[in-house]
Structures are given as structure tokens and as C-alpha cells.
């Protein structure tokens, strides 16, 4: 991983320092780039919310080979982890890597590691086209995310996503705040419950599940369930959509309570190692997504770099499970977090 990170540091130097801990401090406000919006508080809060949680060690048990596999919306995953959708790293940052190759590295590397990758969306069109092409090449083994476009663009892109053969399509509704897209004549917008239900009904009619990403409140999560979503992602877009939000780990338990087990709850933002994955699961997430570190692995090591990164995370997760006495990722006790009961 060191060689991969060193290589990425060289290629990404104008946009990402590949810091020892990717926590949003050095890159605050750097958009385009890998930073968080404005002061970078939302990105930094994601990392600090996880860092403020501490794991209890429990060694008096017989768990040596914890189970890490889950099934999520028809996808079999060796780890409760997905590569988050990241659009435009290559095309917007001039890294000497094409958007096509970047997406092939992410989608292919995830499959090599026994999980699946998500693909992103944006302007210019090569962003969604490269993601969808990588998914099509891998027989739909991944999840395309489409932005909440206004007008015909949404339907056109949902149909293109369908044609990859995927089992689920996501929408990052928190992209509704990206005024840059509106200024470029490509408006995105929030959606009412009824509009969401209509979109979800259309996707369901194709036999495809629908994931709503970018929710930070119990209210929105409940409305998503009522509109028919098959999963939600607690996310603040890695701190890129609104400055000054809490960290995702802070709001996750309230969202999980509001959803009440009706659909899976996913979460992302600041997840950096196996311990962080386990913390999110202990707070009630069924699966996590990881963003920036996957970009670093893909730029620095291509498909192999991505696979290696997730293998490392799997080792860390298994170790953390043994050390906390956790037998199965599908049933992680909140009591493994110091100060929480369960
Ligand atoms: C450069 C960049 C581009 C992104 N593009 C997308 C996108 O196209 N669609 C999307 O749903 N989220 C996008 N995201 C947000 C990620 O999916 C994810 O929510 C976030 O990166 C998670 O935080 P982390 O990077 O701290 O792990 C992007 C994030 C970054 C940093």
C-alpha cells in the first residue's frame, strides 16, 4: 500500500496530498479537488465523529474466524463495504489517468476483492458514461448513482443505468445543492415525496432496487422508506454538499431508529480502516461506503491497488472483530463501543 500511496501522491499532487490520515484538514475548501466545501467542517466532522468513538476489547471468547459476508439488495459481498460513487476524479483533475480507466480500476478491483463498486455522475458526460461502461463490461456487477437532474436528463440517465444490467440504481439526492451544475446549465434539484415515489416506481417496474443517498435526518429517512426506497445512505457527500453538518456517525443512530429495520441503512464519510467499519456497524449501519481512499488506491495502483486496499481493510476488520468479540458483521453489538449499552 505504501508504493501505491506514493505513486498516487505524485499523480494527484495538485489536488490531494494523500495525507497519512485523510481527514479533510489540509484540503478544506478545495473543490474541484478532494476537499470538503467551505471551511471543510462537514468532512472533518465525519472523521472526528468516528475518532471520538472507542472500541472495547473483549478477549474471553472462542471467536477466531468472524463472518464478514453480507447480501445487500441481491449483491453478495465478502465485506460489508462498497466503493462509494466518485465522479470526475480523472477528468476534472488531470491526473494522467482517463475517466474510463479510473472506473474500470474501481469496478474491477472491487470485484477482485469480493465486493462491488458504485459509479458516479456529473458534468461533462464522460463521467457517467465511463462509469456505466465499466459496469456494463462487468455485467452490471456494481451500482450506478445518478444525480437528481431536472427534466428529461434524469429519465435518460436512469434508463442508461438500467441498461448496464445492475440490480440496484442509486440517486445522490444531496447533489441538489450543487449550484455549480445549475450555473453550467445542468440543474439538479431536491424532490418531494411524491416525485420520489414516481421515480422509484419507474425503477421498480424494471425489477431494479432503488437506493437514496445523501440523507442526514430521521425525517428524510422515514420519507424515503414511505416513498418506496429499498435502502438509504446516511451521507453528506463527504462534506461536499453543505458546510457545517454533523459527522455522519453522529446522526446515524437516529436515522437507524427512524428506519426501524424496514430497509437496509448504509453510511459513509470518514471511514478509513477496519475499526471505522466496525464502529459504523455498531451504530446500526448494515454496510458502509468508502470514497477518497479508494480514489487514491485506484490512481496509485489501478485495479490491483483497489483490490489490495480492500483486502487490507478486510484483514483489519477481521482483527477488530476478534478483538471485540464480534462473531458476525450482520449482528454487531453497540456495546463494543465504549460507553454505549447494547
Ligand atoms: C471527488 C469526489 C467526487 C464525488 N462524486 C460523487 C458522485 O458522483 N456521486 C455521489 O453519489 N457521490 C459522490 N461523491 C461522494 C462520495 O460518494 C462519498 O459520499 C464520500 O466521498 C464519502 O466520504 P469519504 O470520501 O470521506 O469516504 C464524491 C466525493 C468526492 C470526494
Ligand 1 center from residue 51 Cα (angstroms): 20
Q: Give the span between the Cα atoms of 328 and 314, in whole angstroms.
A: 13
Pocket test for ligand 1, best of 33, 240, 270 (most atoms within 8 A of CB): 240
pLDDT digits (tens, 9 = 90+) for 28-46: 999 989 999 999 999 999 9
Give the residue, 341 or 95, on which the prediction is more confident: 95
Pocket test for ligand 1, best of 32, 84, 122 (most atoms within 8 A of CB): 84
| Ligand 1 touching residue 4 (CB < 6 A) | no
| Ligand 1 touching residue 85 (CB < 6 A) | yes
DSSP structural state of residue 149: B
Which residue's alpha carbon is at the smallest distance from atom 4 of ligand 1? 86
Which residues, listed in sequence order, are joined to residue 327 by a DSSP beta bridge? none
Q: What is the pLDDT of residue 58?
A: 97
Set of cell numbers at residue 156: 435518460
How many C-beta atoms lie closer than 10 Å to residue 228's C-beta? 18
Structural domains of the chain, ranges and CATH numbers in brackets: 2-14+25-55+68-334 (3.20.20.70)
Nearest 5°: phi and psi at 22? Answer: -80, 95
185 pLDDT band, cuts 50/70/90, is: confident
Q: Which has the closest alpha carbon to 43: 213, 233, 270?
A: 270
Distance of alpha carbon 211 from the chain centroid: 12
Structural contact between residues 118 and 84, judged by C-beta atoms closer than 8 angstroms: yes
Residue 250's contacts (CB-CB under 8 Å, 6 or more residues apart) are 45, 49
pLDDT digits (tens, 9 = 90+) for 125-157: 999 999 999 999 999 999 999 999 998 999 999
Can the peptide bond before residue 124 be classed as cis, meaning omega within 30 degrees of 0?
A: yes
Instruction: With a cut of 90, say whether residue 92 has pLDDT above it.
Output: no
pLDDT digits (tens, 9 = 90+) for 239-265: 999 999 999 999 999 999 999 999 999
Instruction: With a cut of 70, say whether residue 342 has pLDDT above it.
Output: no
pLDDT digits (tens, 9 = 90+) for 215-245: 999 999 999 999 999 999 999 999 999 999 9
Set of cell numbers at residue 80: 460489508
| Ligand 1 touching residue 34 (CB < 6 A) | yes
Can the peptide bond before residue 96 be classed as cis, meaning omega within 30 degrees of 0?
A: no
Give the residue, 281 or 181, on which the prediction is more confident: 281
| Ligand 1 touching residue 235 (CB < 6 A) | yes
Give the mean model confidence (pLDDT) for residues 117-123.
96
DSSP structural state of residue 207: T
Atom index in ligand 1 nearest the CA of residue 122 equals 8
Ligand 1 center from residue 85 Cα (angstroms): 6
Is 271 annotated in a binding site? The answer is yes
Q: What is the pLDDT of residue 184?
A: 83
Amino acid at each position: 500500500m505504501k508504493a501505491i500511496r506514493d505513486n498516487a501522491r505524485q499523480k494527484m499532487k495538485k489536488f490531494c496530498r494523500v495525507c497519512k490520515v485523510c481527514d479533510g484538514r489540509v484540503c478544506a475548501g478545495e473543490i474541484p479537488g478532494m476537499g470538503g466545501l467551505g471551511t471543510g467542517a462537514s468532512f472533518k466532522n465525519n472523521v472526528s465523529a468516528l475518532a471520538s468513538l472507542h472500541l472495547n476489547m473483549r478477549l474471553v471468547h472462542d471467536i477466531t474466524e468472524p463472518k464478514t459476508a453480507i447480501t445487500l439488495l441481491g449483491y453478495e459481498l465478502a465485506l460489508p463495504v462498497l466503493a462509494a460513487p466518485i465522479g470526475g476524479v480523472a477528468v476534472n483533475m488531470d491526473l494522467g489517468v482517463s475517466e474510463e480507466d479510473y472506473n474500470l480500476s474501481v469496478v474491477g478491483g472491487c470485484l477482485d476483492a469480493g465486493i462491488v463498486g458504485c459509479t458516479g455522475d456529473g458534468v461533462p458526460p464522460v463521467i457517467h458514461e465511463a462509469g456505466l461502461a465499466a459496469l456494463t463490461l462487468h455485467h452490471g456487477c456494481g451500482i450506478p448513482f445518478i444525480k437528481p437532474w431536472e427534466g428529461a436528463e434524469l429519465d435518460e440517465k436512469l434508463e442508461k443505468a438500467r441498461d448496464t444490467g445492475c440490480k440496484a440504481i442509486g440517486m445522490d439526492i444531496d447533489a441538489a445543492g450543487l449550484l455549480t451544475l445549475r450555473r453550467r446549465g445542468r440543474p439538479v434539484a431536491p424532490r418531494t415525496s411524491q416525485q420520489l415515489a414516481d421515480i422509484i416506481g419507474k425503477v421498480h417496474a424494471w425489477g431494479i432496487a432503488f437506493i437514496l443517498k445523501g440523507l442526514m435526518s430521521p425525517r428524510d429517512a422515514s420519507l424515503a422508506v414511505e416513498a418506496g426506497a429499498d435502502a438509504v445512505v446516511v451521507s453528506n457527500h463527504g462534506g461536499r454538499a453543505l458546510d457545517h453538518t454533523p459527522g455522519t456517525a453522529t446522526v446515524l443512530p437516529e436515522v437507524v431508529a427512524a428506519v426501524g429495520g424496514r430497509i437496509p441503512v448504509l453510511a459513509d464519510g470518514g471511514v478509513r480502516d477496519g475499526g471505522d467499519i466496525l464502529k459504523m456497524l455498531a451504530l446500526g449501519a448494515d454496510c458502509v461506503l468508502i470514497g477518497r481512499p479508494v480514489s487514491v488506491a485506484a490512481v496509485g495502483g489501478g485495479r490491483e491497488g483497489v483490490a489490495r486496499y480492500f483486502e487490507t481493510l478486510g484483514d483489519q476488520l477481521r482483527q477488530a472483530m476478534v478483538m471485540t468479540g464480534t462473531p458476525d458483521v450482520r449482528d454487531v453489538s453497540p456495546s463494543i463501543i465504549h460507553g454505549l449499552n447494547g
